[in-house]
């Protein structure tokens, strides 16, 4: 299969979005050149609305003028479409496990992270912190089984679950900064802690991981807007 060029592949998204990182990491793993189109999520482009008319959200991959939506579906599409290192395991059962834990990250764990970042009282933050830290414990155990003693959930190289969880690390760091609490404790989660360092320094990821201070400032502005909107009286 010929290597795609930038005109063949576009990614619609925002640098602040963890889910937008996912297809970009997958494309980097496959050494696919692509054009990244930054979206203003407050004023969505016609291209975005046309490409994802159902959900009207990022990310969207456009390959040869054909759009693909939903971050982990895009990752799977990239894996099946382009040559390069495999992202999903070859074994059917191991693929099922990777998909299971990726759904767990989005449905169970990341919600606790959002709650911790948005928590207003100490009690709310403490509850959310417990959810965020305890939610990583099953992934700590899963790492031992899935990695088979190697550096990533996917083995020697970044795989499907690595991308699902690792894309959240930028916001995890910001959440720790906002809350003043540590989520990935090296003593309690040694596998996840060491994995996170490897993931962030990997060439496929390093340039995409958002700067913590820049993302922190964005988060403060975002939460201030959300608080203002919540405090505003309803229209009459």
Domains and CATH numbers, the chain: 9-81 (3.40.30.10), 92-213 (1.20.1050.10)
The pLDDT assigned to 193 comes to 97
d(C-alpha 58, C-alpha 102), whole Å: 18
**CA 140 distance to own-chain centroid:** 18
pLDDT at res. 235: 46
Give the pLDDT confidence score for residue 153 in this predicted structure: 98
| CA 53/CA 172 separation, integer angstroms | 30
Partner residues linked to 69 by β-bridges: 60
- pLDDT of the residue at 124: 82
Mean pLDDT for each consecutive 10-residue tract of the chain (236 residues)? 62 97 98 96 94 97 97 98 97 98 95 77 82 93 96 98 98 88 91 98 98 94 68 50
Give the integer Cα–Cα distance in Å for 207 and 216. 17
pTM (two decimals): 0.91
Contact 140, 191 (CB under 8 A): yes
pLDDT digits (tens, 9 = 90+) for 216-227: 999 888 877 766
Q: Supply the pLDDT for residue 226.
A: 65
223 CB-contact burial (10 Å; exposed 0-12 / middle 13-18 / buried 19+): middle
């Amino acid at each position: 299969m010929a290597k795609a060029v930038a005109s063949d592949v576009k990614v619609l998204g925002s640098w602040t979005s963890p889910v937008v990182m996912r297809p970009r990491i997958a494309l980097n793993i496959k050494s696919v050149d692509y054009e990244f189109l930054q979206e203003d999520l407050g004023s969505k482009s016609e291209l975005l609305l046309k490409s994802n008319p159902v959900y009207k959200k990022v990310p969207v991959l456009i390959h040869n003028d054909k759009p693909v939506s939903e971050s982990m579906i895009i990752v799977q599409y990239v894996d099946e479409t382009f040559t390069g290192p495999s992202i999903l395991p070859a074994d059917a059962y191991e693929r099922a496990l990777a998909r299971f834990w990726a759904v767990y990250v989005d449905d169970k764990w990341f919600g606790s992270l959002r709650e911790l970042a948005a928590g207003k009282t100490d009690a709310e933050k403490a509850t959310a912190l417990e959810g965020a830290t305890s939610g990583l414990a099953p992934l700590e155990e899963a790492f031992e089984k899935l990695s088979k003693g190697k550096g990533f959930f996917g083995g020697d190289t970044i795989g499907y679950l690595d991308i699902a969880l690792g894309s959240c690390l930028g916001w995890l760091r910001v959440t720790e900064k906002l809350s003043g609490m540590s989520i990935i404790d090296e003593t309690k989660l040694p596998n996840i802690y060491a994995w996170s360092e490897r993931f962030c320094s990997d060439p496929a990821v390093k340039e995409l991981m958002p700067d913590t201070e820049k993302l922190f400032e964005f988060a403060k502005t975002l939460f201030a807007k959300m608080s203002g909107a919540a405090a505003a009286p309803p229209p009459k």
